[in-house]
Amino acid sequence: MQYKNQPVFPEKFMWGASSAAWQVEGAVAEDGRTPAIIDLNSKKKKPYADNSIASDHYHHYKEDVKLMADCGFTSYRFSLSWPRIYPSDSAEPNAKGIEFYSNLIDELLKYGIEPIVTLYHYDMPVWVDEKYGGWYDRGIIDAFDRYARTCFEAFGDRVTYWLSINEQNMQICYGKWLGVCKNEETWLHDQWKVNHIMNLCHAKAVVACHELVEGGLIGPVPGYVPIYPASANPDDQIAAMNAEELTEKVWNDLYVHRKYNGFIRSYWNENGIDPDIREGDMELIESAKIDFFALNCYRSNTAKHCGIEDEPQEYLLNKNGVKGQLIFPKVPGLYQLTENPYVETNDWDWEIDPVAMRYMLRYVWDHYRLPMMITENGYGKYDSPAEDGKVHDAERIEFLRDQIYQVGLAIMDGCDVIGYNPWSFTDLLSTGNGMAKRYGLVYINTTDEDVLDLRRIPKDSYYWYSDLIKSNGQNWG
């Protein structure tokens, strides 16, 4: 449907941005925090910086929150660092860790900014990994439950919106890249046991939130990449549906319907996979009724038929920001991904496809009928200050304008969308590209080679976004 007028956003629509503790905080060895596995992995990714300092939000949070307030934010999505809350397998949480997040939440509320808090965003404590083999051992379920309950008890009096596990589907689909996989040779089978344990941890968090937080609302955070068929060939349509199932829908169905769908059960049977579902597991999952979806969406994919006789190909992401290095996956008998001639791509070969945002919101709303908020969506590029000392990022403004417009169209289509929190507020450490690949509305004066002075410089996109927020989505600039 084409609309004659620009979209209208709800009066109490939450406008903000997002971050993750391990990518923005720094201070990895201060005030009792112990290492996370992601800390160790970031140290291996030379020549990029590691996360020991990152954006130094730990020491600049008041300045950062003031910048949010000046921009007009009404929400801020961030994550808690598990090893900052529980630095060891101690019965007591770290008081300094609790204090930091309590102060951050208070600072946000002082300016009328709604905190949206993620419990887990990739920062598995080393002590948890050593004790339980990461997500491989069911002992982590009680450890995660203890951590989640501590967070609800410490912050639930001031935080309404909670997110359980960030991009669980991506941690399984890209388990080797994100460090979840412990044995590549057995990962085909292991991933579904790991996924089941993660589902049980998610369920524990949902149950605990509803038990401990008065009026608390909690949801999952799937990484969402809409998948189109490459052609009108019916085989391509089925391939796109297969890709959707194995990268997204299996997870979303579990969150909402609280049981594994027929597709994944058939897939397990076809491949001799035992996800190790034990007595009482499905009863726990059944009790975990989510309140909304948080959605991370940056791009789209396109799928076509892949014959059973084809050779498998692993998905090899572009890690260097030089166009043409991405290699699409092939999953024989199910699907293969391919280029989409109708959309442009960025330097990392990610599709620039604003319509994917509307497509995703329509799809999730049609399937699940739950409120939705955007918790990640953004444009990564190489930024640096110009001669005038400012950061001019016209491409980011264009990207955000097009994406937010599609959010507005989805709302006009009847979707219940309650907030938009793009990635990211400040520049922060990229998962694969250090400080070089920047997403922020605010430039952090640091590089992979030198820490510099960490000065905050609002980019052109910051001022553009501020005008849009303060007009509640009416001033497009």
State the CATH number of the domain containing residue 25.
3.20.20.80
Q: How far apart are CA 343 and CA 415, in angstroms?
A: 24
**pLDDT value of residue 46:** 65
Q: Is the dihedral of CA 59, 65, 66, 68 positive or negative?
A: positive
Three-state secondary structure call for residue 70: helix
Residue-level pLDDT at 124 = 94
Low-confidence ranges of the chain (pLDDT < 70): 1-4, 41-47, 432
- Cα 324 to Cα 26, 46, 306, 365, 437: the distances in Å are 33, 22, 22, 34, 17
The verdict on residue 311 lying in a domain is: no
Judged by DSSP in three states, 356 sits in helix
For residue 48, the 8-state DSSP code is S
pLDDT for the residue 316: 87
**Which ranges in 184-278 belong to alpha helices (H)?**
187-212, 234-244, 250-257, 262-270
Q: Is residue 134 part of a domain?
A: yes
Residue 295, token pair as written in the block: 């959605």
Domain of 107, in residue numbers: 14-224+246-300+353-470
- Is 77 inside a domain boundary? yes
Q: Is residue 231 included in any domain, yes or no?
A: no
64 is a domain residue = yes
Residue 179's pLDDT is: 84
Cα-based distances in Å from 450 to 23, 53, 61, 105: 17, 11, 21, 31
Give the up-direction half-sphere exposure of residue 49: CA atoms within 13 A in the CB hemisphere.
25
pLDDT at position 335, please?
97
Cβ neighbour number for residue 13 with a 10 Å cutoff:
20
114-120 sheet: strands from edge to edge: 75-79, 114-120, 161-166, 217-221
Helix, strand or coil, per DSSP, at residue 313: strand
Clarify whether 99 is annotated catalytic: no
**Structural domain includes residue 381:** yes
Is 232 part of a structural domain of the chain? no
For residue 1, what pLDDT is reported? 57
Q: Is 449 in the active site?
A: no
For helices 95-110 and 57-71, angle between their N-to-C axes, nearest 10 degrees: 20
- Tell me which of 167, 244, 248, 351 is the catalytic residue: 167
Provide the number of structural domains found in the chain.
Answer: 1
> Which tokens sit at 129?
């990994």
User: Which pLDDT does position 333 carry in this prediction?
Assistant: 96
261 is written with which tokens?
């769908």
- The answer to whether 36 and 23 are in contact (CB under 8 A) is no
The answer as to whether 212 is a domain residue is yes
